[in-house]
Amino acid sequence: MVWSHVGLNCADQKSTEEFYTRYFGFTRARVVDLGESRIVFLRKGDAYLELFESAAGPARPAHDDGPPAPGRIRHLAFQTDSVDAFLAELGDAADVTLGPLDFDDFICGWRTVWVRDPDGVIVEVSQGFEDDRSHDKDGA
């Protein structure tokens, strides 16, 4: 079993595609024409985002790092070399909902910010996160 994709509903499919291609390095992999609508697949490495047109307006989660309700995705997450450089690249497009926060008490150098995409989806961007190797094969 391998990871496939995340499907996102978009109020403005073009704006959402531009956000993820410009700031996260995704590229268009495929467009499926459904007649009255279409699905846009974006790819970065082995990860895909599947963008669906949606008539409903943007969702605004009540929680800074995403909606806390069971059965709802809390946020998407990406790793970067520098949260500050990422925020500088976003510039005025940065809709920061939380942070940046430092988590040095857990992992030295771990820093995270949460931003909102054009449809209200919370996107976490972190630097410095590392796995806890004590949970490898013999430590599980």
Do 96 and 113 contact (CB within 8 A), yes or no?
yes
Res. 27: pLDDT tops 70:
yes
Res. 120: pLDDT tops 80:
yes
**Tokens at 96, concatenated:** 């920061």
Which range marks the domain in which residue 132 is found?
60-140
Q: Which residues does residue 47 pair with via DSSP β-bridges, in sequence order?
A: 44
* Most confident stretch, 82-86, 103-107, 136-140: 82-86
Range name among 65-69, 81-85, 93-97, 128-132 with the lowest pLDDT average: 65-69
pTM (global) more than 0.95: no
27: domain CATH number? 3.10.180.10
Do 124 and 107 contact (CB within 8 A), yes or no?
no
Q: Last residue of some domain: 25, 57, 89?
A: 57
pLDDT of residue 89: 95
Average pLDDT over every residue of 39-52: 91
If one counts the domains in the chain, the total is 2
What residue type is assigned to position 35 of the chain?
A: G
Do 65 and 75 contact (CB within 8 A), yes or no?
yes
Q: CA 60, CA 96: separation in Å to the nearest integer? A: 13
